[in-house]
Amino acid sequence: MKKLKISVIPGDGIGKEVVPETLRVLDTLADLHGGVTFQYENHPWSCEYYLEHSVMMPDDGMARLHQTDAIYLGAVGNPKLVPDHVSLWGLLIKIRRECEQVINIRPAQYIEGVKSPLAEPNHFDFVVVRENSEGEYSEVGGRIHSGDDEIAIQNAIFTRKATERTIRYAFDLAQKRRGRVTSATKSNGIVHSMPFWDQVFHEVGHDWPTIETETNHIDALAAFLVSKPQHFDVIVASNLFGDILTDLGASIMGSIGIAPAANINLNGKYPSMFEPVHGSAPDIIGTGTANPIGQLWTAQMMLDHLGLEELGQLLLRAIKETIGEGIKTRDLGGTANTKEVVDHIIEKLRLY
Ligand code: NAD
Ligand code: IPM
Ligand code: MN
């Protein structure tokens, strides 16, 4: 029997609603498989935890995460209780950085039965490979002076190492997909870091002569995701550009509530972390309308990562069939609540 240890951090807001529900699905999958069990280590680290302990996670928190095979996270942030910069640097970004989860993978695809806001969504299917350790999210900067003289500074940092590994990851992925990489840039002489990004993209591209490459300015690319999303296969982007493009990707899918994501550790030293694209959705807490699909699809990415691709495929099938049968939460135009969607998915899995 294969035992997989999973750190579970529901976090804040709807993270606390969707994570426990989706664990029921993981348990069902383990039952079906027979050869694997998931052992969860539940951590209440959140903004409420901060109010009690003045930290987002305990001193030994990181060491505990390191001892597990994967981290399954809901969402972090409740600005009514704790300022976002405290909760995010103290938990979400801290884990991404200290577990060296240097790549963020975020697929977006047309799903049958989900109404896209696009007039002709036509089966788009692309993946954003987002640099996840530096760039515009660097730790260098801050606020100085006050009053009329106040200045806020953020130094974007682009190292060759991180830029190159992100771009290489994108080319590798494109090789397994449809063979096209689009680089998100802003190299028209305004942002200093981007001509460097372009140069690395160009250089790395020589190692994949069969992959089609193109470079789009981020503003135009955002527009193209709306006007011709089918064109894209793999999009490689810096931290902030990738963040923005993936909410847009989620939106053209039909709802941010269904978009999955994975923070990948490449060196095998620390666990990867699986958290959906969406946040804690403070506006719908307690309404029962939180869509569990983003979290569940994220679980599928975790299963894939853990070598349980078959279970992941079963889960994806159950997700898509459930949507196809109209069992949907409010964001997708349905009337089902979180639990009803999950119950339906579990019923389906038991029939496979
Ligand atoms: P958000 O993604 O939480 O919400 C944006 C909109 O999408 C809201 O209207 C919300 O109701 C809706 N939505 C999101 N997920 C949904 C779901 N599963 N089902 C149905 N509707 C859903 O973004 P925000 O409002 O900008 O951020 C709220 C908080 O979450 C902030 O504290 C922010 O910093 C944090 N945040 C955390 C993460 C993360 O932990 N990975 C990601 C994004 C935002
Ligand atoms: C995401 C979120 C985070 C990010 C925030 C909450 C720091 O928006 O995971 O997309 O920008 O990476
Ligand atoms: Mn985001």
Question: Each residue of 226-283: pLDDT tens digit?
Answer: 999 999 999 999 999 999 999 999 999 999 999 999 999 999 999 999 999 999 999 9
Strand partners, 6: 40, 70
Q: Convert the pLDDT of each residue in 270-321 to its tens digit.
A: 999 999 999 999 999 999 999 999 999 999 999 999 999 999 999 999 999 9
215 and 297 both lie in a single domain = no
Ligand 1 atom closest to residue 11's alpha carbon, by position in its atom list: 40
**Per-residue model confidence (pLDDT) at position 224:** 98
Compute the distance from residue 50 Cα to the ligand 2 centre, in Å. Answer: 19
**Per-residue model confidence (pLDDT) at position 215:** 98
Q: Pick from 253, 275, 295: which residue ends a domain?
A: 253
Compute the distance from residue 77 Cα to the ligand 3 centre, in Å. Answer: 12
**Per-residue model confidence (pLDDT) at position 134:** 98
Q: How many helices (H) and strands (E) does the chain have?
A: 12, 12
**Per-residue model confidence (pLDDT) at position 122:** 85
Mutate to test the pocket of ligand 2, among 56, 92, 247, 278 (most ligand atoms within 8 A of CB): 92
Assign residue 238 the CATH number of its domain: 3.40.718.10
**Per-residue model confidence (pLDDT) at position 16:** 98
248 and 150 both lie in a single domain = yes
Nearest ligand, measured from the Cα of 78: 1
249 and 131 both lie in a single domain = yes
Residue 35 lies in a domain: yes
Q: What is the pTM of this model?
A: 0.98
Residue 127 lies in a domain: yes
Give dist(CA 348, CA 25) in Å, integer.
Answer: 11
Name 127's Cβ contacts closer than 8 Å, sequence gap at least 6.
Answer: 105, 106, 107, 108, 173, 177, 233, 234, 235
Nearest ligand, measured from the Cα of 84: 1
Which residue's alpha carbon is at the smallest distance from atom 4 of ligand 2? 243
Give dist(CA 245, CA 184) in Å, integer.
Answer: 9
242 and 266 both lie in a single domain = no
Nearest ligand, measured from the Cα of 73: 1
Instruction: Beginning with the edge strand found earlier in the chain, give each strand of the sheet holding 234-237 in spatial order.
Output: 36-42, 2-11, 70-75, 272-274, 262-265, 101-109, 125-131, 234-237, 180-185, 212-217
- Output the 3-class SS for 152-181: EEECCECCHHHHHHHHHHHHHHHHHCCCEE
| Start-to-end CA span in the chain (Å) | 22
CB 193 within 8 Å of CB 186: no
Strand pairing category for 272-274 and 70-75: parallel
Compute the distance from residue 278 Cα to the ligand 3 centre, in Å. Answer: 7
Which residue's alpha carbon is at the smallest distance from atom 32 of ligand 1? 77
**Per-residue model confidence (pLDDT) at position 40:** 98
CB 221 within 8 Å of CB 77: no
Residues touching ligand 1 (Cβ under 6 Å) are 14, 75-77, 79, 84, 88, 92, 256-257, 275, 278-284, 290-291, 294, 331
Give dist(CA 114, CA 92) in Å, integer.
Answer: 30
Compute the distance from residue 171 Cα to the ligand 1 centre, in Å. Answer: 30
152 and 96 both lie in a single domain = no
Domain range enclosing 74? 1-102+259-352
Residue 347 lies in a domain: yes
Question: Residue 55 carries which DSSP code?
Answer: S
Q: Per the structure, how many domains does the chain have?
A: 2
222 and 132 both lie in a single domain = yes
Q: Pick from 227, 253, 279: which residue ends a domain?
A: 253
Nearest ligand, measured from the Cα of 9: 1
Ligand 1 atom closest to residue 18's alpha carbon, by position in its atom list: 18
Residues touching ligand 2 (Cβ under 6 Å) are 77, 88, 92, 243, 277, 279
Instruction: Give 33: exposed, middle or buried? Use CB within 10 Å, 0-12, 13-18, 19+.
Output: middle
Q: Is the pLDDT of residue 189 over 80?
A: no
Q: Pick from 236, 253, 270: which residue ends a domain?
A: 253
**Per-residue model confidence (pLDDT) at position 136:** 97
Compute the distance from residue 340 Cα to the ligand 1 centre, in Å. Answer: 21
**Other CB atoms within 10 A of residue 206 CB:** 7
Residue type, 184: A
Q: Convert the pLDDT of each residue in 130-180 to its tens digit.
A: 999 999 999 999 999 999 999 999 999 999 999 999 999 999 999 999 999
Compute the distance from residue 61 Cα to the ligand 1 centre, in Å. Answer: 24
